[in-house]
Structure formats: structure tokens, C-alpha cells
Amino acid sequence: MTSAQSTQGALQDPPHDPFFRAATAPAFTHELLAGLAAGRYAAVRVPGFLPRQWCEEVLGALKEKAFDSYGTTRIHPPVMRFGVGVSDHMADGGVADSYWKALEGHYAAWEGLGLSFDPFRVCREGLATHWPHGVAVGRRGGREMGDGVAREPNQGFRVHFDDALREYAEDLLDTPLIGQFAFNLYLSVPPSGGETVLWRHRWQPGDEAYRLPDASYGYDEAVVRGTESIELTPEVGEALLIDPRNFHAVRPSHGDRRIALGFAVGISTSGRLLTWA
Ligand SMILES: O=C(O)CCC(=O)C(=O)O
Ligand SMILES: [Fe+2]
């Protein structure tokens, strides 16, 4: 066999990690959450997690409101959001006082939607239905963190990873975390684009050479070149839970808005799931 042929063979039949896969299930079972934390899965998808009528209620109310954009020096291309996320209020490896002030406006804004239910509570509790240690919104210095945001990355999210251990100098929450997830519930998806891509790659120091100068949260896609990946096309009502320490991205949307409810999830040392945004 020539080297060209063997290269072609490798392309046709790339090596695959059987643990790098997305599980699709009717619910977030104990086994799936434990498996995602342990590295047995890369993602867990639950289609129809939120009934369509409930999605429509939240989406209809959100569509009446103006979204803000994340700090555009940090997040580029811009991502629109409704609600407050801690990533816009990081200071000196910790959380700026502005976050707690902004949260007051956040709760007023969500109250102002006049919804018949609390969508973040429903998502939190649905996520933890089969988790024996329960769930709560995380606390920092005794104060409750934000419960979630609606995010609209119509132009996509660049290749990035999320890891509170690396983003904050000390524990973000009062109870230390031994595992982390990112939760998304899709309310509106575009007819094309908007895919979530996950790569079987965790940050390593050399990756900093690929960090984009105009977007401190993002990396050049070359950082994951040649790495096994999974592409997921979200559906309305679907909940997606990923291990956000794997590099991931969202592709640009075409034809409609891509709006998801999202929050971060940690497994705390007590076993309880703790959420924050
Ligand atoms: O919108 C998505 O599908 C993923 C967004 C993301 O980067 C995250 O949840 O950490
Ligand atoms: Fe992310």
C-alpha cells in the first residue's frame, strides 16, 4: 500500500472513541448524568423536555422584549441575551459587585414577562428528577446566583470551552464543584445552521496560541483540527446537557432566530446539582 492509500484509508475510517457520543433519552436519568460527569458520554439530549405549548409561551413573551448583547469586546460576533450572566461581571478572578446589582434587574425583567410558570425552575427540576441529591441555584457568599439566561447566538458561538475552575481564581460557589455541565433548552431554532458542535478536545496550555485576539472567549478553529467531533442540530423543546470542558461551538443561524434558555450546572461535593448563570 502506498502512503497515499493508507492516508485515504484513515480518512474513510477515522478512529472513533466509543465514549465520545451523544446519548438521546426520554429523561435525564441518574445513569446518564453520572455517565456524562464520568466521561462515558459527551452529551445527553432529551427531546421534548419542555412541552411545545410551554416553549411557545416563553418564546412569545421573549419576542416582545428587546434583548441585550453580551459585552461585545469579549463576545464577538455578538450574542444577544435576555437576563444576566456572571461572565459579564468577572473582575480580578472573582465576581464584581455589579453582578448582584444587575441580578435585581434580571429578576424584574423575567417577572415582567408574566409567564404562568418559572422556566428555569422547571428546567432545573426536570434535570434533577432522577438525581438522588437534588438541585438548587448555587450560592456565593451566601447569596443566590442568577438562575439562567435566554441566549441568542444567531451568528454563532466561536470555538470555546467553559470551566469555572479555570475562569475564577477560587471556587465560584460556596460549595466546591467536582463536575460541570452546561444546560440548554431550545425555544426557537433556525431552518438551517445553528448546529452545536462538540470536539473531543479539552484545553491544554498550547491551545493559547490559537486564542483569537478579538474575542477573549474564543479560539481559532484550527485548535481542534483533526479532532473527532459531533454535530448536533437542536430541536424546539429539546434539552441538551454537555460537558463544557470539551471545546464546542455554535454555527451561524440562517432563516430564523436561535433562542435557548441556558445555565451552568455543577455537581457539588455534597452531590447536589447547583446551577448558575
Ligand atoms: O447553544 C448551544 O447549543 C451551546 C451554547 C454554549 O456554548 C454553552 O451552553 O456552553
Ligand atoms: Fe459554551
CA of 10 to the centre of ligand 2 (A): 30
Nearest CA to ligand 1 atom 10: 182
CA of 21 to the centre of ligand 2 (A): 18
Residue 1 confidence (pLDDT):
42
The domain covering 17-276 belongs, at the CATH homologous superfamily level, to q2cbj1_9rhob like domain (2.60.120.620)
Mutate to test the pocket of ligand 1, among 45, 149, 151, 261 (most ligand atoms within 8 A of CB): 151
Residue 182 confidence (pLDDT):
98
Q: pLDDT tens across 125-149, in order?
A: 999 999 999 999 999 999 999 999 9
Q: Using a 6 Å cutoff on CB, does residue 250 contact ligand 1?
A: yes
Q: What is the mean pLDDT of the chain?
A: 94
Could you say which DSSP state residue 42 is in? S
Residue 248 has pLDDT above 60, yes or no: yes
Q: How far is CA 275 from CA 149, 179, 207, in A?
A: 12, 12, 28
CA distance 140 to 96: 12
Q: How far is CA 56 from CA 80, 185, 263, in A?
A: 19, 13, 20
CA of 12 to the centre of ligand 2 (A): 30
Residue 121 has pLDDT above 50, yes or no: yes
Q: pLDDT tens across 55-91, in order?
A: 999 999 999 999 998 776 677 788 999 999 999 999 9
Q: Using a 6 Å cutoff on CB, does residue 157 contact ligand 1?
A: yes
CA of 241 to the centre of ligand 2 (A): 11
CA of 186 to the centre of ligand 2 (A): 14
Q: Using a 6 Å cutoff on CB, does residue 182 contact ligand 1?
A: yes
Kindly give, in sequence order, each residue whose CB lies less than 8 Å from that of residue 30, ignoring residues fewer than 6 positions away: 130, 131, 132
Residue 214 confidence (pLDDT):
74
Cell numbers that stand for 79 in this block: 450574542
CA of 64 to the centre of ligand 2 (A): 26
CA angle 39–43–46, rounded 5-degree value: 135
CA quadruple 59, 116, 184, 32: dihedral positive or negative?
negative
- Identify the CA nearest to 226 among candidates 10, 30, 62, 42: 10
Nearest CA to ligand 1 atom 3: 196
Q: What are phi and psi of 68, to 5 degrees?
A: -90, 170
Ligand nearest to the CA of 184: 1
Domain spans in the chain, listed from the N-terminal domain onward:
17-276
Residue 70 confidence (pLDDT):
75
Q: Is 78 exposed, middle or buried (0-12, 13-18, 19+ CB in 10 A)?
A: middle
Residue 5 has pLDDT above 70, yes or no: no
Q: Using a 6 Å cutoff on CB, does residue 152 contact ligand 1?
A: no
